[in-house]
Amino acid sequence: MKSETRELARPAKIPKSRKPGTLHSFFALKFHEGDEDKAKVEAIEKALNKAGITITLMARDVEKWGKADIPKGKTLMTDYAFPAMRECDCNIIEFSEKGVGLGINAGYCYAIGKPIFVIAKTGSDISTTIANLATNVIFYDAPEDLTEPFRKIAKEFSSPERRVNPELREYIEKNIFPEYQKNEPAHSLPHIKNVIKRSFKFADTIPDANYDIVFTVAAYHDIGHHIDAKRHEIVSAEMMQKDKNLEQFFSRSELKTIKEAIEDHRASSDHEPRSIYGKIVSTADRDNSVESCLFRSYDYGKRRHPDYSDEELFDRAHKHLSEKFGEKGYAKFFFEDEEYENFLSELRKLLADKDLFIKTQKDYIKNLTKKQEQK
């Protein structure tokens, strides 16, 4: 009898273009022998397709459900999964059952700045680490429950980023995003990703906005914070200007606009941003949640003044936030944003009562510290 000839695995084919309001996601879950996983994947994929999301998964698209072998000298994760993750818009991880590979998957996507959406059956135990890496954790009873939340996700995350040159985006995600590991938490990659997201939101209100410029300004605006926090806008602009790789994507005039926008982004700047792109990133860079303010003001103070007691740090935070966000605060905002207005109203109520502010921040930091110790 002739032995069965098995095919060799080939890289997954990721679509290069997307229709508006759609996403293509990497998909991962803990796999088992047999057909159980096929049925699970098909049911989830059907729900995601209704939301405008298509998926790539290694077991089906590379390993052909066990019928294709990984060539000698190659590995599934590094030679097939990682390249596919880079080409996908995001990563969806089914985490009802834990697996080491899922953690590696999440860590890699987080490192390259890809949004991570964790889905799990209601009642599943999601580790603190995975929850912190995830952009969103969505629990479901039946696969159909996933359609509506992912329809909103597709609408929110898909269109603006797709207006960015994919080669520019890949360059920045691979070479610039990792640099933010050098910054303290308040100016690390999660903050940058939030500023990018909010920058796109404001850019959507500007006719003919250049999304390559919007993305690049937001991506570089804090890159020099670990070098000189007090002058980080100048240092960051200089680092961007020295990056000769950007010359393949922008004209001299556009690079000058990017540099000025980065220089102009600080809330404490003594002048208004010189371009709409400076106004976009400056507005997007403002805190828009009280919890973020409580953490960032405390963490920044603790790192800059390690000899301060907690009481001194809380007092410093109150003074700083009052000067920045108080009724006569220096923080500037150049776009209408209901989310920011609600945040500002809530924060100012806290700042008006110093004792209440200090108690609120103290309780928040205490609870946050307790959660971190439990990891």
Give the mean model confidence (pLDDT) for residues 314-327.
92
Residue type, 193: K
Cα first-last separation, the chain: 56
Predicted local confidence at residue 206, as pLDDT = 86
Is the predicted pLDDT of residue 330 greater than 70, yes or no?
yes
The pair of structure tokens assigned to 197 is 């997201």
The pair of structure tokens assigned to 26 is 């990497």
* pLDDT band with cut points at 50, 70 and 90 for residue 224: very high
The single-letter DSSP state of residue 9 is P
* pLDDT band with cut points at 50, 70 and 90 for residue 252: very high
The pair of structure tokens assigned to 99 is 């697996």
Distances, alpha carbon 282 to alpha carbons 198, 220, 223, 275, in Å = 10, 13, 15, 11
Residue type, 267: A
How far from chain centre, in Å, is Cα 283?
18
Mind listing the pLDDT tens digit for each residue in 266-278? 877 778 999 999 9
Is the predicted pLDDT of residue 288 greater than 90, yes or no?
no
Mind listing the pLDDT tens digit for each residue in 42-100? 999 999 999 999 999 999 999 998 889 999 999 999 999 999 999 998 999 999 998 88
State the Cα–Cα distance between residues 333 and 344, nearest whole angstrom. Answer: 11
Is the predicted pLDDT of residue 20 greater than 70, yes or no?
no
The 3-state secondary structure of 337-358, one letter per residue: CHHHHHHHHHHHHHHHCHHHHH
Distances, alpha carbon 132 to alpha carbons 29, 43, 107, 186, 292, in Å = 18, 27, 11, 15, 14
The pair of structure tokens assigned to 186 is 């308040």
State the Cα–Cα distance between residues 217 and 22, nearest whole angstrom. Answer: 25
3-class DSSP assignment, residue 331: coil
State the Cα–Cα distance between residues 206 and 214, nearest whole angstrom. Answer: 11
Predicted local confidence at residue 185, as pLDDT = 84
Is the predicted pLDDT of residue 168 greater than 80, yes or no?
yes
Predicted local confidence at residue 149, as pLDDT = 96
What share of the chain in percent tops pLDDT 70? 95
Is the predicted pLDDT of residue 1 greater than 60, yes or no?
no
Identify which of 254, 183, 273, 179 has the alpha carbon closest to the alpha carbon of residue 216. Answer: 254
State the Cα–Cα distance between residues 24 and 110, nearest whole angstrom. Answer: 17
* pLDDT band with cut points at 50, 70 and 90 for residue 226: very high
* pLDDT band with cut points at 50, 70 and 90 for residue 17: low
Cβ–Cβ < 8 Å for 281, 261: yes
Is the predicted pLDDT of residue 112 greater than 60, yes or no?
yes
Is the predicted pLDDT of residue 113 greater than 90, yes or no?
no
Predicted local confidence at residue 375, as pLDDT = 58
- CB proximity list for 39: less than 8 A, separation 6 or greater: none
Cβ–Cβ < 8 Å for 113, 173: yes
Identify which of 241, 242, 222, 243 has the alpha carbon closest to the alpha carbon of residue 233. Answer: 222
The model's pTM is 0.54
* pLDDT band with cut points at 50, 70 and 90 for residue 118: very high
Predicted local confidence at residue 300, as pLDDT = 85
Q: What phi, psi does 30 have (nearest 5°)? A: -75, 120
What share of the chain in percent tops pLDDT 90? 65
State the Cα–Cα distance between residues 156 and 86, nearest whole angstrom. Answer: 20
The 3-state secondary structure of 113-175, one letter per residue: CCCEEEEEECCCCCCHHHHHHCCEEEEECCHHHHHHHHHHHHHHHCHHHHCCCHHHHHHHHHH
Identify which of 252, 180, 271, 184 has the alpha carbon closest to the alpha carbon of residue 218. Answer: 180
Q: Domains of the chain by range and CATH?
A: 17-159 (3.40.50.450), 182-284 (1.10.3210.10), 290-373 (no CATH)
Predicted local confidence at residue 159, as pLDDT = 62
The single-letter DSSP state of residue 27 is E
* H helix or E strand, kind and range, residue 183: none
Distances, alpha carbon 183 to alpha carbons 226, 267, 307, 364, in Å = 5, 19, 20, 23
Give the mean model confidence (pLDDT) for residues 107-129.
92
Cβ–Cβ < 8 Å for 308, 302: yes
* pLDDT band with cut points at 50, 70 and 90 for residue 289: confident
